[in-house]
Amino acid sequence: MRYDLLAFIALPFLGLLGAYSSRKVKQSHNKLIFVPPMVSFAVGWFWIVVAKFTKMSLAVAQIAFDTTYVLCYFLAFLLLGEGITLQQGVGVGLAVTGIVMLSL
């Protein structure tokens, strides 16, 4: 079974859950304060699965994993109505460009 593929499928959902709970905690809904650390814990365990079972090199797997999770987290903030400045948009674009160049 491809556990690494399952981990990559789960990352967008973890990104959405992390962004949602982070936003709620910022709005003083402190009952969700335990969710972001749990999401971080789950992401850490998913990385262990990816590192152990992937057919990719460790460097490429790290790039793919980090890119998937961070971009999903960022896009989840956008879907939840968080505003984005031009500087943030340029930063994300440069980060994605850098990641693509690293993987070549």
Per-residue pLDDT of the chain (104 residues; tens, 9 = 90+): 576 777 778 888 888 888 888 888 888 877 878 888 888 888 888 888 888 888 888 887 888 788 888 888 888 888 988 888 899 889 888 888 887 787 77
CA–CA dist 47, 31 (Å, integer): 27
Range of the domain at 95: 3-103
What are the CB-based long-range contacts (under 8 Å, 24+) for 66-70? 66/99, 67/96, 67/99, 68/8, 68/11, 68/12, 69/11, 69/14, 69/15, 69/43, 70/15, 70/95
pTM of the model: 0.73
pLDDT of residue 87: 93
pLDDT on residue 24? 85
Domains in the chain: how many in total? 1
